[in-house]
Amino acid sequence: MSRKSVAQSGCALCGVKEVSEPRGKARYCPDCWDKKIAVEEIVAREFELKRYIRAENAEKYLVYHSTIKRPCGQLVVLDDGYDLFLTLVLYPIFAWDDPAYHLSGDPEGRSFSDLVIDKVAAEVVEPWGGGRWHLEVFRAANPEPEEWNGEM
Ligand SMILES: [Zn+2]
C-alpha cells in the first residue's frame, strides 16, 4: 500500500481523517493510539518477570503469565560494560503466537511474544540504564524450564 492511500483511509480504527500515530507511519488518530497502547499495557501486566539470579554484570529471570502457574519463559541479561545482551527463551507451554488482544478493525495486531519484549524493554533494559541493547529470542523445545528452576 502506498503512503498516500494509507493517509486517505484515515484512522484504522475510527476512520477519522487526522492520523498522527505512530510517528513515521501514522495509521491511527491520537485517541485510538492511546486506546491501543492502554490495551497493550493491560495485556503486558499479565506477565511477570521474577528475578532469581542477580550478579554484578548479569541477571536471570523467569517469565510468568497470570493464566499458568509454571514459568513460560526465561531471560538472561549480560552487561559487558558497554552494551546489554539479552537472551529470551520462550517455552511452548504458552501460546506465544496468539494475538494478544483484539481491537475491531485493527490492521496491526500484536502477538504475546511481541508484548513480552515490550515488557522486557520497560522493566529490565530501562532500569538498567537503557543504552544499546541486543536481544535474541529462542523458542525452546522443552515445554517449560527444567525442574531445577522451579524452586526459585
Ligand atoms: Zn481513531
H-type alpha helices, the chain: 3-9, 30-45, 112-120, 126-128
Rounded Cα–Cα distance for residues 26 and 38 (Å): 18
- Taking a C-beta distance cutoff of 8 angstroms, is the pair 65, 135 a contact? no
Report pLDDT for 149.
52
Residues near ion ligand 1 (Cβ under 5 Å): 11, 13-14, 16, 29, 32
C-alpha cell at 28: 491511527
Distance from residue 23's CA to the centre of ligand 1 (Å): 15
Q: Which residues of the chain have pLDDT under 70?
A: 1-8, 147-152
Distance from residue 18's CA to the centre of ligand 1 (Å): 8
Report pLDDT for 9.
76
Distance from residue 111's CA to the centre of ligand 1 (Å): 21
Rounded Cα–Cα distance for residues 77 and 125 (Å): 9
Q: Is 96 exposed, middle or buried (0-12, 13-18, 19+ CB in 10 A)?
A: buried
Please give the order of strands across the beta sheet that includes 84-90: 47-54, 58-65, 73-79, 84-90, 133-139
Report pLDDT for 129.
82
Report pLDDT for 2.
44
Report pLDDT for 151.
53
Distance from residue 97's CA to the centre of ligand 1 (Å): 26
Distance from residue 102's CA to the centre of ligand 1 (Å): 15
Distance from residue 104's CA to the centre of ligand 1 (Å): 11
pTM of the model: 0.84
- Taking a C-beta distance cutoff of 8 angstroms, is the pair 107, 99 a contact? no
Q: How many CA atoms lie within 13 A of 15 on its CB side?
A: 2
94 secondary structure, DSSP code: S
